Structure 1
């Protein structure tokens, strides 16, 4: 076995995320928005196993969540990550990527981004390319705004397009119930709806700040490990737009908030709803209530580490 191929395969686990705070800035001339967000990595994971191959292929895709819509071609971010790493390091072989998914697909929780982060770490170890964490972060940022955070994990503040990360001090454990939905929400449509809403009601709500920022109350709640304080500070500028696109989610949001959650929020652009609970016991009770009502509900806690080699 050569030094460039120290392992027959490498398995890496990366977490999904919740945006506990998301402020969307003013629409820019290039059609994009600057963001300010507070990420928390949670205990729903993606596992990617990388194995030496002559080509770049997605092998098996398994998981505990519905897998409809997960691509096996170059649209898959894990495959894109492997090819980018090979191109940047001059690696001439290939890789087979087997993916096990626990993060809801197209759910606003960064499952595809976690796959990409896991693929970067797995291929770097498999091929012996030896990139620094800074090198991997730079590649991750080229793949998507949420990929760098899936590498980092924990709790962090993201600015710019969300990929300029600064770790945030957080203590304790936050317990969540995630209400998944099989029908995805288009992120571009959610942003377009927000822009339209601001255009129609700009006199009352404004058009978004030029330089958005995360509110101090959010960071204080995370530092204190205080779930009630964080519940009072949860905010997502995309929530109203997503609920206009998907009014069916409002009923689930109201049920969760009236059944023991401290607060509920749309995760990213949705459709997953995140309910913050006071304890693991309270979260288990809420999960049962939602499941009884016909909603697919998952337990999770955070913060948890970012992409790591396991097994």
Structure 2
């Protein structure tokens, strides 16, 4: 008598782009980037159980109404990719508990995909391991390999070519969420338009400067704060000018600095310590902003043992 595989619970982190330089458009239509990622302890949770077909549902503190649950969703695409590469014919029922903002520049969809890869690799007993899953992650999206890896890392090309970076200590992040997301292609397109209008030429070969790497190694938020940078911030602020007011509000209330995370519109504030982070969270909440607090770096996508009840 055969028994069904046990349910699998996996989690994967959101991210903050501590530094992001955007270069020229590559032949595949993506931009050449150099970024310093840090995974933060806001985790997407994915529960998978065996089934004949693929099925996906969402729940969680992040509003999930309107999220597709068919082949348009990166979780289903991850499952199809695993099936195609391994010949596996079974399915899975998957539920994602969302805690990372949707279309917020914090890699929530990429975390969902990374969690799906590790969960289904375990559920279906595929044995691909981290290296095999990393190859598939790069095919799914530029940020998926980092959600799989976690920690702190430098990303180049589209962001999918990773080099782990040394980072000491624990950083305190306070995240201000927007009431609606931003389209990543629209933000990149706006950056291109702003550059064309001003005559600015993108870097031919963008890099993460040595001072950013040194600041991460130091573990000192006061050393890191002055070197935080995101080329996409200007485009996000152009599309959503009110984000500038949020940045100023955070700085007035004790943040060492603030930065638009990725393509936005989430804003990540770096705090000096836990007390400062708590005070900032209270001040931003009092201004009627939706605020999350998280630490970094955090682990990448992992199966949680044992699977926990939903």
TM-score by length of 2: 0.96
Q: Specify which of 14, 31, 39 is matched with residue 16 of structure 1.
A: 14
SS at match of 2:216: helix
SS at match of 2:12: strand
Contact 1:50-1:96 within 8 A present in 2 as well: yes
- For structure 2, the residue ranges without an aligned partner over 5 or more in a row are none
Name 1:283's counterpart in structure 2. 277
Name 2:123's counterpart in structure 1. 126
SS at match of 1:107: coil
Residues 30 and 124 of structure 1: CA distance in aligned 2, closer, same or farther (over 3 Å): closer
Q: Give distance in 2, aligned partners of 1:65 and 1:300.
A: 15
Name 2:243's counterpart in structure 1. 249
* 1:1-311 equivalent positions in 2, closer than 5 A: 7-28=5-26, 30-59=28-57, 61-202=58-199, 206-310=200-304, 311=306
Deviations 1:228-273 (A, max 9, x none): 1111000000000110000111111110011100000000011100
RMSD: 1.3
Residues 30 and 114 of structure 1: CA distance in aligned 2, closer, same or farther (over 3 Å): closer
Contact 2:4-2:50 within 8 A present in 1 as well: no
Q: Give distance in 1, aligned partners of 2:128 and 2:179.
A: 37
Contact 2:13-2:150 within 8 A present in 1 as well: yes
Q: Which stretch shows the higher mean deviation, 6-15 or 234-243?
A: 6-15
Q: Give distance in 1, aligned partners of 2:29 and 2:87.
A: 34
Contact 2:20-2:36 within 8 A present in 1 as well: yes
Deviations 1:9-46 (A, max 9, x none): 10001000000000000234553310000000001000
Shift of 1:171: 0.7
- For structure 1, the residue ranges without an aligned partner over 5 or more in a row are none
Task: State the aligned residue count.
Answer: 305
Q: Give distance in 2, aligned partners of 1:216 and 1:6.
A: 51
Contact 1:27-1:195 within 8 A present in 2 as well: no
Q: Give distance in 1, aligned partners of 2:108 and 2:188.
A: 20
Shift of 1:6: 7.0
TM-score by length of 1: 0.95
Deviations 1:154-199 (A, max 9, x none): 0000000000001001110000000011211111111111111111
Contact 1:79-1:97 within 8 A present in 2 as well: no
